[in-house]
Structure 1
Amino acid sequence: MKKKVLLVSSSGGHLTHLLKIVPIFEDWNRTWVTFDKEDAVSSLTDEQLVFAHFPTNRNIVNLIKNFFLAIKVIKKLSLI
């Protein structure tokens, strides 16, 4: 059974940095959590994607939605 890794990032520069370490996890089952933005979608075409709620700055509703999304994703991947 392959190991699992959950990679979480906003789109843009943080995503670019995470993409640089993907070779480390080449043989792992990778799931990404990011925003549904063009740069993220185009960079992660063959990856498992979960889209977080955006915007997150000063948006309490999306903060709460993302909290419950995190629990759902972690449980689904059996990471807890």
Structure 2
Amino acid sequence: MGIMGDILNVTADGGREGIIVSAISRKANLSHYAVLDKCEKLVEAGLVESVKNDRNRVFQITEKGLQFFQEFKRFQGLVESMNLRY
């Protein structure tokens, strides 16, 4: 869940223009292939969409993804306030 949260955070920062895989990889500190795998799962869940932009594939967070990410951040805050590890 933490990795998915990191990817959603980076794609949310990318805004409506989206963000390419290499930038997600760099900002989330994950391998290129790990990002592709996780992004595909997020696309299947409807939290992120994949768009072909010129010669690059970019990922954009969806409205559903933004709502999920906000709830996830709230959950993280609750867990941290209780000093729990997840």
TM-score range, shorter chain: 0.3 to 0.5
* Higher helix proportion (structure 1 or 2): 2
Higher relative contact order (CA 8 A, sep 6+): 2
Return the TM-score normalized by structure 1: 0.36
Return the TM-score normalized by structure 2: 0.35
